[in-house]
Chains A and B, each alone.
Chain A
Amino acid sequence: MPRGARLMFAFCTDPASLPQWQWFACYLTTATHFAFYRSFFMVMLLLVITAPIALAMGLLGAMAVRSRIWPVSWLGKGYVNIVRGVPDIVFFMFVPIALGQGIEWVFHQIQCPDWDQPIRQGNDFIVCRDAKVPPVGSPVWVRDAYAFSMAVIAYALVFGAFAANTLYGAMQAVPRAQVETAEAYGMTRAQAFRRVVMPQMWVYALPGLSNIWQILIKATPLLFLLGLQDAVYWARELGGQKTSLYTYPHPDWRVWYFLVLLCFYLFLTWVSERGFARLNARLSLGQATAAGERLRKVQA
């Protein structure tokens, strides 16, 4: 036990002599275990931050694909198809490092215009000291936040393309006659989109979006590959065999830690499945779909 570390329970001063349940009470409340528990919140945080960004990216992408200006529409189509055609894991690994180097390169051009050496020397990527992102000597939390936001961008890019595809389909699924009616009332294309298509497309998009959400949940452990101290990292660290040199010696318990992770993810996907089912029922009310018709009959 490092000096000065706070103890959850008073009896934890000498764990070696404790009975079973007290030993576990102390073991599960060590500082490293709290880091493990916090990492679950990091997963949630990633989901909460990424989902709206990805949805916004998806909306932009879908609108770009529908656009009548051909460069915009090509850009949208290119984005959606390139991201969807390449195995996603390649993207998760590629985007953070490529983006990081890209940002440093831009700063390098701005900060040190008179630098005469090449940036790629052999196997090194060298930019001048002022162009380092995050800046040299910045505290650990800044580095963590930087790595985390890189991960968010990678996730938002990949899942934005998935969402764009779903939303595009949903926009097309809104009955054409309704848009024509709106135009007959003298609405412009933008007005018809805002007032007729937008409010109705969600019910068509929901099954696809719920699927993407489930996939996003299941993609969060890949954070570990980006070098962040997430739940997988801590499960490996804490579960590994600890010799008697440690305060809490135990054999290889990784399987139990990963079981906890497995249950956590099962719970998360199960809860969101139920949540989406309710949301779907709510959105189907009054819609011109089979589900909406069924709800209408039940109420009548």
Chain B
Amino acid sequence: MRTCAESFDGYILRALGRDWGERLLPRNLDITVCDQVILIASGLIWTVYFAAVAIFIGFFLAVAVALAKSSENMWLSRPASAFVFIFRGSPLFIQFFFFYSAFVLLPRSGIDVPLGFVTLTVNTSALTTAQVGGLIVLVLNTTAYSAELFVGALRSIPKGDLEAADAYGLSGFTKFRRVVFPSMLRLAWPSYTNEAIFLTHSTTLVFLSAFPAREQAGEAFYYARYFVDQTFNPFVGYPIVAAYFIVLTLAIVGVFGLANRYLNRHLPRERRPRVRFRPQYVR
């Protein structure tokens, strides 16, 4: 039996790969509660990586898609609507399978993209890893969901704000940057916080679907499931991972709440919308 300190040394960074701790995961009768707490915590490295990177990239893409979707130009709005429809209308779980099996078909050696003066080689084998391929699917998914929120916010920007902007002679990008974008963000922020929470929760699906966990390096839920499979006792691993997710959720609510305060700093205190944690649902 390992002591807790030994499991800490062996497993706290194990999610990064075999070289970052014990080569083998604890097995069968060798599993202690400390092992479970620490190894599942180590999986949070990837949970946070997937969530943070996908939310960061997805945010900018979502703003672009939302603008395209609410544009008057049919050539912009139609493809954007189709994109949102496809990614919101189908299960994320199936999207992972679909993209993985598509990425596997790409040539292993990479694809050469001639750019005229230089040839860029796209590393296609990276796409079959969860850290790149799975992340891409998550980014596309959160882009679609957030874009829909932003479209709703764009529609509900007060008419007076836009007229005031026109009256001040603002137009084009200046109007967008000074008036449209801040209002949109302010209106969408409470639901966007929930979107960030759902996305964090749905990172649990990455390794449950097609993407392989190389060297048994996975995210928190992957390890919880590993332990439950090994011990056949669901009453330890799953509550631990649930507790970690509740902490993560509270952290997101905190960070996004600070951003919400910043976005609404011009409003009198009692009129500021509160970020409410409305936990939902599978996607």
Contact = CB atoms under 8 A, between A and B. Distances in A.
B283 A97 contact: no
Interface residues of B, number: 44
B91 A219 contact: yes
A266 B86 contact: yes
B98 A255 contact: yes
Most chain B beta-carbon neighbours within 10 Å: one of A98, A120, A122, A262: A262
A212 B281 CA distance: 8
Contacts of A217: 91
B281 A239 contact: no
B101 A218 contact: no
A269 B89 contact: yes
Interface string B209-228: 00000000000010011001
A255 B101 contact: yes
Interface string A57-71: 000000000000000
A2 interface: no
B282 A89 contact: yes
B235 interface: yes
Interface in A213-243: 215, 217-222, 224-225, 232, 235-236, 239
A254 interface: yes
B94 A87 contact: no
A116 interface: no
Contact of A262 (B94, B238, B245): B94
B225 A218 contact: no
Interface stretch (B63-71, B159-167, B200-208): B200-208
Contacts of A232: 93-94, 97
Contacts of A8: none
B104 A89 contact: no
A215 B283 contact: yes
B28 interface: yes
Contacts of B97: 232, 235-236, 254, 258, 261
Contacts of A101: 234
B177 to A, nearest CB: 33
A162 B31 CA distance: 36
Nearest to B88: A269
Interface in B233-260: 233-235, 238, 241-242, 245-246, 249
A163 B177 CA distance: 40
A122 B241 CA distance: 22
B238 A258 contact: no
A98 B237 CA distance: 12
Given A123-B233, A125-B233, A261-B94, A88 B281 contact: yes
A269 B29 contact: no
Contacts of A87: 201, 204, 221, 242, 245
Nearest to B86: A266
Given A94-B238, A120-B233, A215 B280 contact: yes
A136 interface: no
A254 B234 contact: no
B33 interface: no
Nearest to A231: B94
Contact of A125 (B105, B232, B238): B232
A90 B238 contact: yes
A28 B177 CA distance: 55
Nearest to A86: B242
> Which interface residue of B85, B208, B281 has the most chain A CB atoms within 10 A?
B281
A85 B246 contact: yes
Interface string B97-138: 110011011000000000000000000000000000000000
A89 B204 contact: yes
B235 A258 contact: no
B147 interface: no
Contacts of B202: 89
Contacts of B184: none
A218 B98 contact: no
Given A89-B221, A255-B102, 7 more contacts: A123-B230, A235-B97, A254-B97, A262-B86, A262-B95, A265-B91, A269-B89
27 contacts: A86-B245, A87-B201, A89-B202, A89-B208, A89-B282, A93-B225, A98-B234, A98-B235, A101-B234, A120-B233, A123-B31, A215-B282, A217-B91, A218-B91, A221-B91, A225-B208, A252-B104, A254-B101, A255-B101, A258-B94, A258-B98, A258-B101, A262-B95, A265-B89, A265-B91, A266-B90, A270-B89
Interface of B: 28-29, 31, 85-86, 89-95, 97-98, 101-102, 104-105, 201-202, 204-205, 208, 221, 224-225, 228, 230-235, 238, 241-242, 245-246, 249, 279-283
Per CB-CB distance, the 3 closest pairs between chain A and chain B, nearest first, are A254-B101, A258-B98, A218-B91
Interface of A: 84-90, 93-94, 97-98, 101, 120, 122-125, 162, 212, 215, 217-222, 224-225, 232, 235-236, 239, 252, 254-255, 258-259, 261-262, 265-266, 269-270
